[in-house]
Amino acid sequence: MQYDMIMVRYGELSTKGKNRSAFIGRLNGNITKALHEYPGLTIRPKRDRLHIELNGEDSQGVMDRLQQVFGIQNFSPSVKVPKDMTLVHEKVLELMKETAPAGSTFKVATKRSDHTFELDTNGMNLDIGDLLTEERPDLKAQMKHPDVTLRVEVRREAIYLSTTTIQGAGGLPVGSAGKAVLMLSGGIDSPVAGYLALKRGVDIEMVHFFSPPYTSDNALAKAKQLTAKLTPYVGSIKFIQVPFTEIQETVKAGVPEGYLMTIQRRFMLRLADMIAHKRHALAIFNGESVGQVASQTLESMVAINDVTTMPILRPVATMDKNEIIKVAEDIDTYDLSIMPFEDCCTIFAPPRPKTKPNLDKSRYYESKLDIDGLLQRAMDGIEITEIRSSDEFMNAEQDVISELL
Amino acid sequence: MIYFDNSATTKIDPAALDTYNKVSQNFAGNPSSLHALGDKAYQMLEGARKQIADLIQAKPDEIFFTSGGTEGDNWVVKGTAIEKRPFGKHLITTQVEHPAIINSMKQLESLGFDVTYLPVDHRGFINPDDLKAALRDDTILVSVMAVNNEVGAMQPIDAVADILKDYPTVHFHVDAVQAIGKGLMKSLRNPRIDFITFSGHKFHAPRGTGFIYAKEGKHIAPLMTGGGQEQNLRSGTENTPAVAAMAKALRLHLEDEAGNVKKQAAIRQRIAEHVQQFPNVHLFSELAPDFAPHILCFAIRGVRGETIVHAFEQYQIYISTTSACSSKKGTESSTLAAMHADPHLATSAIRVSLDENNTLAEADEFNAAFDKIYKQFEKLMPKE
């Protein structure tokens, strides 16, 4: 069925009081960005919902995109009919034929903003109810929990009909909660943390540490590809790659084995902090889950967290691995995450890292290193790329391959 | 030159050959190697796997590359026997399967397995009721071909699948070597089917290629053990160029399947209607909807099949006796024997097998040559 309009209902933002118009503005911007491939659309944000006039654009394509925009509670594709009851009847039957199979229960729910229309709300409900009883004896009217709710909206310019309501992604419009950096490794957890941050309206930039030649180009490509997987929710994401080889080599040479991991992490966090300040970000997100590995015990968090005063948010902190995997599968990052490329978290991992590192010892071992110099050189080597959803990093040969197949 | 022996093998598609050459040269790494060249070859291999999976509406990890139909058949039969040995030692197949199935079964019999060979009627079809009667508590495999390679009878795969719904643990294997691209995809995608064998060179891919479909969750033991390729079920360095060429050939082969089927059926009909006007011609393949569109098996009473094959060769028309695999041995066709055909008639059987590149003009040329050959050997034929 070709629809004419999609009615978008806002999520939580309806309750946000004075910030409301800012939220709606942000959502409108994000929807516009997400739908930029459909130039024919007219998007009209209103106080309690947003209307997208399709003007002939492909409704399925538009709805697929909308499902990835945070801040949308749900949406209904609708058919626009001139205010003529004969035409309304025709369209009602057509729509119900497609969406209400024999044996379904239904109800009609009318909403009228044009109070000059000949039928009032009840009149409309009765009229269409009668029509369906007459023409579709295979359906049964039922007020409580019907299979199909036919929504009729009488507006000034036309009447809108819809039978389908599609769940949106929920959450808050990305950007409405400010900006943060995400420490993205290449594993399963950090992309999930990134997704959850986006869902709460946080605009994120990726910070990825790489250590050539210990880590391969593939590992870097994988991190970029993971970033590309999250871009549909935002449009584009900045990917900040930080060279980490010198720091890892220096730490390895100068620090007792048990503290290798802790001190490497302190360096990573310092760099994330410096980048966040430079990029005007307000917080640092990561994919730590309490107790999952040695660096993620509460003791480790104390020893590592010490280097920054910026809030560190850990969206998956209390999730079980299986719960995290479930989300990773839903957002389609799982298969990528489990590709076996060494990343810099694993490459110099000591066989027996301290699970309960001591804060003072961490500070002491580290004090012998040229911390500022190391950080400065890493910061100087930073490269920033903007990643879009259509970008391909893993399969550079993809075009050649499809040509040959 | 007219090539009417496509059930024996098909000519490689030039586009597939081009892919073969390019992949050999440009994707030379071992897909298991860690470096970029290996990764490139891996991408190619997996790209081919995905394409093949999409074409037969399966998932990529349900596709396992093999060296061809014989390997696929051997693997599913013996792999099931090894894997499911603790659950039973009874296997069921038909009397008209390809030797790759029959001889695998015979080998298993010599190892103590019990095999039921379902009979066929005079048209070449099994009776699903016979299958019902043959199923036992210790049955582990039912293997039925989709299209018979000698006469073209299309076995009732859906009826078999229906019966096997009540036996969910029995592996159901379909040999689809002759069925690919012949309008049978709907049957082949019957959800009850667990394993399917395909052979590359029957659809214009290079020799030595093939794949099996193995439904997610259904297990067979590997026959090739080694480096762990193909999910540790079929070891051996992957033949990347051949696999890529096979993926390409399959795509092209299935591009206009309905049109191709119609075309082959029309050619087959033109030949069948012509030859059956002659009193000493006997058709084993019928012009009925349960026969494949590309195979026509018939006999000229009193003249050996081999003689007719060579006679056609004089006109540069290439056909075969029955199955190319057994034709050199001069044995009578096993399918025709199972159909209880008159043994004399069976030794006279010849097979015309078509593909999408054949034309109606070739059918006319064949018919003209047939008239001359018939006349030439008329003296050998029985008198009224």
**And the tokens for A21?**
């118009």
Mean pLDDT of B18-30: 95
pLDDT for residue B322 is more than 90:
no
Name the residue ranges covered by the structural domains of chain A. Answer: 5-170, 179-399
Res. B384 pLDDT band, cuts 50 70 90 = low
Cα separation, A255 vs A249, whole angstroms: 10
Cα separation, B251 vs B257, whole angstroms: 10
Q: Smallest CA–CA separation between A213 and chain B, in Å?
A: 13
- In this complex, how many residue pairs, one in chain A and one in chain B, have their CB atoms less than 8 Å apart? 27
Res. A107 pLDDT band, cuts 50 70 90 = very high
What does the DSSP 8-state code read for residue B380?
A: G
- In the three-class reduction of DSSP (H, G, I as helix; E, B as strand; rest coil), residue B369 is classed as helix
Cα separation, A67 vs A94, whole angstroms: 25
Topology of domain A179-399, per CATH?
Rossmann fold (3.40.50)
Cα separation, B103 vs B76, whole angstroms: 13
The tally of CA atoms less than 13 A away on the side-chain side of residue A253 is 9
Which of B43, B48, B248 is facing A397, going by the closest CB pair? B43
Strand order across the beta sheet in which A312-313 lies: A312-313, A283-285, A179-183, A203-210, A236-243, A383-388
Omega into A243 within 30° of 0, i.e. cis? Answer: no
Mean pLDDT of B199-209: 97
What confidence tens digit (pLDDT) does each residue in B227-276 have?
999 999 999 999 999 999 999 999 999 999 999 999 999 999 999 999 99
Percent of chain A with pLDDT over 90: 66
- In the three-class reduction of DSSP (H, G, I as helix; E, B as strand; rest coil), residue B213 is classed as strand
pLDDT for residue A16 is more than 70:
no
**Chain A residues touching residue B39 (CB < 8 angstroms):** 218
- In the three-class reduction of DSSP (H, G, I as helix; E, B as strand; rest coil), residue A85 is classed as helix
| φ/ψ of residue B300, rounded to 5 | -105, 115
* Number of neighbouring beta carbons within 10 Å of residue A79: 20
Res. B323 pLDDT band, cuts 50 70 90 = low
Residue with tokens 């049955």: B139
Res. B12 pLDDT band, cuts 50 70 90 = very high
What confidence tens digit (pLDDT) does each residue in A72-87 have?
999 999 999 999 999 9
Let me know: does A206 contact A52? Beta carbons within 8 Å.
no
Which of A217, A398, A404 is facing B248, going by the closest CB pair? A404
Query: What's the confidence (pLDDT) of residue A34?
Result: 85
Percent of chain B with pLDDT over 90: 91
Let me know: does A13 contact A49? Beta carbons within 8 Å.
no
Res. A11 pLDDT band, cuts 50 70 90 = confident
Q: Which of A127, A125, A185 is nearest to A153 (CA)?
A: A125
Range name among A145-159, B15-29, B332-346 with the lowest pLDDT average: B332-346
Burial class, B211, CB count within 10 angstroms (exposed 0-12 / middle 13-18 / buried 19+): buried
- Max Cα–Cα distance, chain B, nearest Å: 76
**Chain B residues touching residue A400 (CB < 8 angstroms):** 26
Q: What is the CA radius of gyration of chain A?
A: 27
The residue of chain A with its CA nearest to that of B51 is A405
**Chain A residues touching residue B23 (CB < 8 angstroms):** 404
Let me know: does A180 contact A276? Beta carbons within 8 Å.
yes
Q: Do B47 and A218 touch (CB under 8 A)?
A: no
* Number of neighbouring beta carbons within 10 Å of residue A402: 11
Mean pLDDT of B95-99: 95
Cα separation, A191 vs A182, whole angstroms: 9
Q: Report ipTM for this prediction.
A: 0.79
Q: Where do the domains of chain B lie, and which CATH numbers do they carry?
A: 2-9+256-378 (3.90.1150.10), 14-253 (3.40.640.10)
Burial class, A105, CB count within 10 angstroms (exposed 0-12 / middle 13-18 / buried 19+): middle
Let me know: does A13 contact A172? Beta carbons within 8 Å.
yes
**Contact residues, A window 218-257, toward B, CB-based 8 Å cutoff:** 218
What confidence tens digit (pLDDT) does each residue in B151-160 have?
999 999 999 9
Query: What's the confidence (pLDDT) of residue B91?
Result: 98
Let me know: does A181 contact A281? Beta carbons within 8 Å.
yes
pLDDT for residue A18 is more than 80:
no
**And the tokens for A3?**
């629809």
| φ/ψ of residue B109, rounded to 5 | -60, -40
* Number of neighbouring beta carbons within 10 Å of residue B311: 21
| φ/ψ of residue B50, rounded to 5 | -65, -40
Active site residue B297: no
**Chain A residues touching residue B51 (CB < 8 angstroms):** 405
**Contact residues, A window 384-403, toward B, CB-based 8 Å cutoff:** 395, 397-398, 400-402
Query: Mean pLDDT across chain A, nearest whole number?
Result: 91
Let me know: does A378 contact A243? Beta carbons within 8 Å.
yes
Class for the domain spanning A5-170: alpha beta
* Number of neighbouring beta carbons within 10 Å of residue B236: 14
Reading phi first (left if > 0) and then psi (alpha if -120 to 50, else beta), residue A323 is in alpha
Query: What's the confidence (pLDDT) of residue A7?
Result: 92
Mean pLDDT of A170-180: 91
The residue of chain A with its CA nearest to that of B45 is A401
Q: Which is the catalytic residue, given B17, B134, B254, B325?
A: B325
Q: Where are the beta strands (DSSP E) in chain B?
A: 2-3, 63-66, 90-94, 114-118, 139-145, 171-175, 195-199, 210-214, 281-283, 295-300, 317-318, 349-353
Q: Do B248 and A405 touch (CB under 8 A)?
A: yes
Q: Does A405 touch chain B (CB under 8 A)?
A: yes
Query: What's the confidence (pLDDT) of residue B329?
Result: 56
Q: Do B36 and A217 touch (CB under 8 A)?
A: yes
Residue with tokens 């199972």: B338
Which positions in chain B have a beta carbon within 8 angstroms of at least one beta carbon in chain A? Answer: 19, 22-23, 26, 36, 39-40, 43-44, 47-48, 51, 244, 247-248, 251
**Chain B residues touching residue A222 (CB < 8 angstroms):** none
CA B165, B167, B168, B173 dihedral sign is negative
Q: Do B40 and A404 touch (CB under 8 A)?
A: no
Let me know: does A66 contact A75? Beta carbons within 8 Å.
yes
Cα separation, A403 vs B315, whole angstroms: 40
Instruction: Report angle CA B22, B24, B26 to the nearest 5 degrees.
Output: 60
Cα separation, B51 vs B39, whole angstroms: 18
The residue of chain A with its CA nearest to that of B252 is A405
* Number of neighbouring beta carbons within 10 Å of residue A144: 6
Question: Position B16: which residue type?
Answer: A
Mean pLDDT of A381-405: 85
Question: Position A337: which residue type?
Answer: S
Res. B293 pLDDT band, cuts 50 70 90 = very high
Question: Position A208: which residue type?
Answer: H
Q: Smallest CA–CA separation between B213 and chain A, in Å?
A: 19
Cα separation, A348 vs A214, whole angstroms: 9
Alpha-carbon torsion angle B23, B26, B31, B36, nearest 10: -160
Which residues, in sequence order, are bridge partners of residue A67?
none
Cα separation, A260 vs A245, whole angstroms: 14
Cα separation, B308 vs B301, whole angstroms: 11
Percent of chain A with pLDDT over 70: 98
What confidence tens digit (pLDDT) does each residue in A306-349 have?
999 999 999 999 999 999 999 999 999 998 998 887 776 677 77
Range name among A140-144, B111-115, B366-370 with the lowest pLDDT average: A140-144
Rounded alpha-carbon distances, angstroms, from residue A45 to A31, A173, A308, B40, B234: 10, 14, 41, 48, 58
